Amino acid sequence: MIIYTLDTNCLLRYLTRDIPTQAKKVRNLMSTAKKHQVRLSVCEPIFIETAVMLKNYFKYDRDKVFLLLSDLLAAPELEIENRDRLAKATVLYHETSVDFTDCILLIYAQTQRYKVFTFDSKLAQITD
C-alpha cells in the first residue's frame, strides 16, 4: 500500500479551498484513504506550520483556526504524528491568547514534566 505524507500546501488547499483544482485533488486523495486504498501521514512540524499559516497568512481568527485544526485531528484517514499532543495544544490555543507554537511547547513541557523558561509574558502567565 502506498503511504503519502502530506505537506503544508496540501493541508492548506484542503482546508481553505483557495485553489479549487488542488483542493479537489486532496479531497480525492482523502476519499481514497477512507477506502483504505492508501495511507496518509501528517508529521507534527507540518501540522504546526499549517496552524501558523492559517493564522498569519490567511488571517483566520482563532475560532476558525481551531475549527479547521480540529477537523484535521478528527479525520481518521489521517495518521497525524503526536495527535494527542497536537489536540491538547489546539484546545489550549483556542482557550488562550498564546501563539500555537508556544502552546505546543507548553504541552510538550507538561508531557515531559519540564518547566518552561520564557521571556514571553503571555506564555509565562499560563505556565506553572
pLDDT of residue 128: 62
C-alpha to C-alpha distances, 29 to 6, 77, 80, 101, 112, nearest whole angstrom: 10, 10, 16, 28, 35
Which pLDDT does position 36 carry in this prediction?
A: 96
Strands 38-42 and 78-80: parallel
Percent of the chain with pLDDT over 90: 92
Across residues 17-44, what is the average pLDDT? Answer: 97
- The model's pLDDT over 73-125, given as tens digits with 9 standing for 90+, comes to 999 999 999 999 999 999 999 999 999 999 999 999 999 999 999 999 888 88
- Which pLDDT score is estimated for 116? 94
Task: Name residue 109's amino acid.
Answer: A
Residue linked to cell 489521517:
78
pTM for the whole structure: 0.92
How high is the pLDDT of residue 127?
85
What domains sit in the chain, N to C, each tagged with a CATH number? Answer: 2-126 (3.40.50)
